[in-house]
Chain A
Amino acid sequence: MSTPGIDSGSADESSPAGPPTGNSFLGDVRVNFTRWNRKAIRNPTAFLLEIVIGLFSLVLFAAVFGDVGEFALAEAGYGDVGYVTFLLPAVLMQATIGSSFNSGIGLVGDLDSGMFEKTTASPMSWTAVFAGKAASELLRIALQVGAVLALAVAMGATIETGLPGAAAIVLVCLPVGVLFMAISNVVGLLARDDEVLNAATMLFMFPLLFLSPAFIPLSDDIELLATVNPVTYGVDAVRALVLDADVATVHDVTAFGGVWNTLVPAVAVLVALDLVFGALAVWLLGRASSANAD
């Protein structure tokens, strides 16, 4: 006897015959990408708030930690770096993580509203449904990071790598976004409660930010924790692009030269984590699909 449950779509893709659905896989991705973009336009509050929170954090942290930060920067050899510039990666990571957790909230909303089942019952590819949703969320993260970056520069932050570096910073934030989107979907599928997800956002965001070199240069006391903290790699990669220097804090890779010594290992770690947590999220999504029959 087989176990009842929703097939995640393998039969969809291999169906030998049937009425035309009109959509390719990419067509299904586009359909869902459009839906989630429309939702964001219809209800832009969360999108705009992430930008406002990012800027607010930049101003607040600069004001509160400014003097201590300048002292710490001088001690760590960053004497010529302004604290707003040093703080920029922290604020971008904060905006990225905050925005990423909206992915899980969206999923819980679809589970609650029945749209999850409705899209599952359609002929669309199951994989394409979630790929389209994720693409829309990544677009929003990119726009938010770009907006915070532009406003931070307007407030006095400096990006040594220029415009190409700014574009690269946005790109580096995406694997960080994918990681926390996966985590938020895992939490969402386990809790199925958006209040839990909101709490989890804070639970993940601030401990991970403070256990990284986000706000002040890394101290020896937390180096071990920072090594296993994914935010460390995001902060290091963004800061390397902001300062145009090898600023890796938890490894001593020298094989790539200059800024790449920080960028390559950091992005590799982030992509590896994306694969692990992404696979976990996909597995749980498949499991959730068959939960009605368990």
Chain B
Amino acid sequence: MTDTSSRTGTTDSTGGADPKTRTDDTADRERSVAVDDLRLTYSDGTEAVGGVSLAIPRGEFFGFLGPNGAGKTTTIKVLATLLNPTGGTVEINGYDVRDERRAVRASVGYMAQETAIDEELTARENLDFACAAYGVPRAERDARIDELLDLVDLSDVADKPAGGFSGGMKKRLDAATALVHEPQLVFLDEPTTGLDPKARNRLWDYFRRINDAGTTVFLTTQYLEEADALCDRLAVIRDGEIVERGSPAALKRRVGGEILEVDVGDTEATSDAAVADPATDAAGADDRDPIVTAADIARSPEQFGDDATVETTDDGVRVTTRRASERGTDFVVALRQAGVTVERFDVEEPSLDDVFLAIADGETPDLDAADGDPADDEPADDEPADDEQRDDPRESAESEVTV
């Protein structure tokens, strides 16, 4: 996974920076997106978006995930002023989407789901049109266009008609046209859909660079790998409502738990401490198969609680639990006390796929951070955002900034 901490300084979950300091920075930052109870109901009565609230500080790389038809594109179109909301308030860069539409449009870039370039024009002419449309001063246009062509690696084909470009080149040109006016915020609606991995990686690199330059990025995607690689923070929408939100790491822990893998060797001959631990008492004797012993210890309620899943592997055990980080060290100690040699110890995060599938299936085990006042979306200075993160000291430091 790409390390995003170097880009924003807000997603470091290792506690390297002072959480309090970072919280203050966040509180001072202007919000790029402030949405309160956004609703959009179509004329036939279908509610596409039902009470979405978001608060996105400037400079963040924000991901908006959800299955097809969940309301992602409808939401992004409201934020980009292409649809009028039927309820709630939406401010973009401090401007109201209803009353200050032109100001919103001038301050954002918008890249639609489908590539939108003029294929009869050259790459340079497409960018020139975008510059003119957004009022980039004529004296600055040539330099800006050259800079963007270089950024999206299209300088060599700058004067060729865009109709002859590959899908990836068209997408990169489309993305560049959304940024000619150096917007404070850019909306990217499923920008890499249909691209091959190479083209996708180049676009990712481009998005990181514009975020590095200070542009807030609002990305919708169905690709969990994309969200994982790019986003500081995510919200997951289903049936027009936000059902989860947090950093990628927090969501994965919250929904999927963690996977603790331990490889064990032969059982040691003696274990003075074994009798001192009820768990190891229950686990058994020195002459048993060390894998079975390890599995028995893992299954004891004292180790990971009742919700852990314990499987044996060829070399040891695999435990899926939300308490892997918290209890992992104690588990290793318990194994040693039982005389089991630990040869490898690893804690893996589940993938965002697990999060997505759980949410798509309607399994939302922790909805405490769901819709409500936008204030719910950003933490108060002196408290973490939700109970889940308060349970985890590492996550608590992170959540004060990002959730």
When A12-B101, A20-B135, A294-B43 are in contact, do A2 and B106 touch as well, CB less than 8 Å?
no
Nearest CB in chain B to that of A41: its residue? B120
Interface residues of B, CB < 8 Å — how many?
A: 47
CB atoms of B106 and A123 under 8 A apart: yes
Nearest CB in chain B to that of A116: its residue? B116
**Bound CA–CA A2/B44 (angstroms):** 13
CB atoms of A123 and B86 under 8 A apart: no
B112 to chain A, nearest CB (A): 5
Task: Chain A residues near B40: list those with CB within 8 A.
Answer: 4, 293
Task: Chain B residues near A7: list those with CB within 8 A.
Answer: 84, 101
CB atoms of B86 and A2 under 8 A apart: yes
Task: Chain B residues near A124: list those with CB within 8 A.
Answer: 133
Task: Answer whether residue B64 sits at the interface, using C-beta atoms and an 8 A cutoff.
Answer: no
Q: Which of B85-107 contact A (CB under 8 A)?
A: 85-87, 95, 98-107
Task: Answer whether residue B14 sits at the interface, using C-beta atoms and an 8 A cutoff.
Answer: no
Task: Answer whether residue B118 sits at the interface, using C-beta atoms and an 8 A cutoff.
Answer: yes
**Bound CA–CA A39/B103 (angstroms):** 29
Nearest CB in chain B to that of A18: its residue? B103
CB atoms of B118 and A18 under 8 A apart: no
Task: Answer whether residue A17 sits at the interface, using C-beta atoms and an 8 A cutoff.
Answer: yes
When A7-B101, A15-B102 are in contact, do A292 and B83 touch as well, CB less than 8 Å?
yes
**Bound CA–CA A115/B173 (angstroms):** 13
Residues 123-134 of B, flagged 1 when their CB comes within 8 A of A and 0 if not, give: 001000110111
Q: Give the contacting residue for A11; candidates B101, B116, B130; CB below 8 A.
A: B101
Task: Answer whether residue B390 sits at the interface, using C-beta atoms and an 8 A cutoff.
Answer: no
Task: Chain A residues near B125: list those with CB within 8 A.
Answer: 38, 42
CB atoms of B121 and A42 under 8 A apart: yes
**Bound CA–CA A269/B83 (angstroms):** 38
CB atoms of A4 and B112 under 8 A apart: no
Task: Chain B residues near A114: list those with CB within 8 A.
Answer: 112, 114-116
When A11-B99, A119-B133, A293-B42 are in contact, do A4 and B80 touch as well, CB less than 8 Å?
no
A11 to chain B, nearest CB (A): 4
CB atoms of A115 and B77 under 8 A apart: no
Nearest CB in chain B to that of A113: its residue? B116
Q: Could you list 9 examples of A-B contacts with CB < 8 Å? A: A2-B86, A6-B84, A20-B106, A39-B118, A115-B116, A118-B116, A120-B82, A123-B102, A123-B103
> Which residues of A does B touch, CB under 8 Å?
1-7, 11-13, 15-23, 27-28, 31, 34-35, 38-39, 42-43, 113-115, 117-124, 292-294
